[in-house]
Chains A and B, each alone.
Chain A
């Protein structure tokens, strides 16, 4: 158990819909990262937040957005969903100055 929690574990929705994925980092970790894992793209970095502020952006679509709240939990919002958005979405967290990231169990999103 990494100490990073993600909800929900599974999400099934339809094209055009909007969903919110939630992540709670390990106690004391200020950085939260979001990743997408799909069969064709592999593991892709989406976005990083540090203590409430956006720190780095990766291959995140404009339809996707994220935020980190004062209690340090983070949410990833996916809108206008397409079939190709079906994937595993992972959240990770790290401590200040630490290089390694600790991953949550993921949310499996299925878009029908």
Chain B
């Protein structure tokens, strides 16, 4: 069984300040982890992925995430928020079991950027 917990449903930061979106996961298998972003009325876009290589993963638009096995966490960070970062962010865990790829989504964190 696998699950994802996004610890904050809403996060508000001022433009130019750091962003931290928290995610904890649980997985019976060696997981792959992802962050997806969804802008209003748009589909989901892959921000970054962890697939058992480097634990610090860099993604698009200046985002990065660190895989910490001991803490079962995969928090998303960005040094300086931009107005265009306002969106919903989903932490996702994936496991492949007998060739079946299963994604489990967190409930999402809505990021608001204050001008």
Contact = CB atoms under 8 A, between A and B. Distances in A.
Nearest to A104: B43
A63 interface: no
Interface residues of A, number: 23
Nearest to B102: A56
Interface stretch (B10-18, B45-53, B76-84): B45-53
Contacts of B104: 45
20 contacts: A4-B43, A33-B103, A45-B102, A45-B103, A55-B99, A55-B100, A55-B101, A58-B102, A90-B43, A92-B44, A94-B101, A99-B96, A100-B32, A100-B94, A101-B46, A102-B46, A103-B43, A103-B44, A104-B43, A105-B43
Interface in B100-115: 100-105, 107-108
Contacts of A42: 105, 107-108
Interface residues of B, number: 22
A31 B43 contact: no
List 5 tightest A-B contacts by C-beta distance, closest first: A99-B32, A56-B100, A43-B105, A103-B44, A105-B43
A105 B45 contact: no
A2 interface: yes
Given A31-B101, A43-B90, A45-B102, A100 B46 contact: yes
A33 B92 CA distance: 15
A43 B103 CA distance: 10
Contacts, number: 54
B42 interface: yes
Interface of B: 32, 34, 36, 42-46, 49, 51, 90, 94, 96, 99-105, 107-108
Interface string A32-65: 0100000000110100101000011010000000
A2 B49 contact: no
A101 B103 CA distance: 9
Contacts of A58: 102
A25 interface: no
A50 B96 CA distance: 14
